[in-house]
Amino acid sequence: MSAEAVRLTLDKPVYGGDCLARLDRKAVFVPLTLPGETVSARIVESRKGFSRAEVEAVLTPSPDRIAPACPHFGACGGCHLQHASYPAQLALKRQVLRDTLTRAGVALPANIDTLAGEPWGYRNRIRLAVTPTSEMGYRGRKSHEIIPITKCPIAAPLLVETALQLAPLLAGAPAPIPELELFTNPGGSGLLVTLFCSTEAANAGLWLADVAARLPRITGLRLHMGDGGLNPRILAQTGASALAYSAGGFPYRVEHGAFFQVNRFLADRFVAAVTGGHHGQLAWDLYAGVGLFARPLTAQFGQVLAVESAEASFAGLRENLAGTSGTAIGSTTLDFLRRNRVQREARPDLIVLDPPRAGLGEQTCTLLNAIHAPRMTYVSCDPATLARDLHQLTQERFRLDAVTMVDMFPQTYHLETIATLTRC
């Protein structure tokens, strides 16, 4: 551990929001910096293979460096790139994606396309921690400490406004509320709020009804026991249990706690990028959520099988596919593929994959390779697991035709990727 400041020159971005420097040939990861910058920094963590440092002064700033728009940036752990101009953020993310896929041995197309939109006010969902004095905030960048906020420029304004109005009412809650989640549709005509507690709560229904009466902009309010896993225990609820959400020209019902893409400005173009131009007799949408892709696919395919295991999402999926050529299947993707291997049902013309951060994994990739589908579209929220999976898929049956970096999360290091594959 170094007690003295060291001079570092930043080389390239890495996934996680840091930039990489070298000190005596050892990798040093430095947050809140940009490639090409020279900084004075202090080593805060030293391990055998790498170190981490915190900047004390930027000696030679990048021409892409700008003043952050949020007063909480740096202390708050929610954003990582507000110090970079937006074009620079997009370039950094493309570089991270290309480097990650290349290291995994994935043969890339010549260009990585970009899908981006408005970089502020885009989030339709936020999750906030609550202090013992009922202040709202995010976890800190360097600790699990709660950083109280007064604004959040990346969130739809309705979300933060409602959270701040809700804060003083939490003192009267029937059980401590350490976290809450707010979700709205693009026009702000609906707002679902989920409160999380860890103990039983007497008279919770009466208290929720009182809160809803005081804050009429909340269209649905729910109290969960636990941290909001796939199948939470609901202690009480009042008002609507779902939001009406329009994306890609199709209506959706999105239940409390159901997964839905977070960027309210990119949804239409994102859906079109994943589903557009595909037609046929049969499509599979695996990890379907509430049917963001399955629903438009029903207008392009004779039959769509949409597979989802999460209870909250499956209820919406079934309703969103009602009256269409789509069938909602309550199952994990792995179990669905195993059953298909035994039953040998009709081969799909297209498979759409949108797995969680953990990606597909070896077994799922093996089963997908055995199906011989002519086309697959893989939507990923983690470059590392995408690279691992694409390596396996392209080593056996598929060729990677196109890669699009989707900036679903401006101001943060997170990115989505659409990878289009064709069977060799």
What is the pairing mode between strands 350-353 and 375-380? Answer: parallel
Out of 79, 152, 197, 381, the active site residue is 381
The SS3 call for residue 239 is strand
Distance of CA 275 to the CA centre of its chain: 19
368: its two tokens? 């997908």
- CA pair distance 294, 348, nearest whole angstrom: 13
412: its two tokens? 């943060």
Compute the radius of gyration of the chain from its Cα atoms. Answer: 23
Q: What is the phi/psi pair of residue 386, to 5°? A: -60, -45
- CA pair distance 174, 71, nearest whole angstrom: 33
Please check whether residue 241 is in contact with residue 220, taking contact to mean a CB–CB distance below 8 angstroms: yes
Nearest partner of 243 among 228, 259, 255, judged by Cα: 255
The SS3 call for residue 174 is coil
Strand partners, 250: 247
The SS3 call for residue 199 is coil
Please check whether residue 261 is in contact with residue 248, taking contact to mean a CB–CB distance below 8 angstroms: no
Nearest partner of 68 among 56, 78, 59, judged by Cα: 78
- Quick check: is 70 catalytic? no
- CA pair distance 8, 172, nearest whole angstrom: 51
Please check whether residue 39 is in contact with residue 55, taking contact to mean a CB–CB distance below 8 angstroms: yes
Please check whether residue 40 is in contact with residue 59, taking contact to mean a CB–CB distance below 8 angstroms: yes
Residue 157's contacts (CB-CB under 8 Å, 6 or more residues apart) are: 121
Nearest partner of 10 among 75, 72, 49, 58, judged by Cα: 58
Active site residues: 381
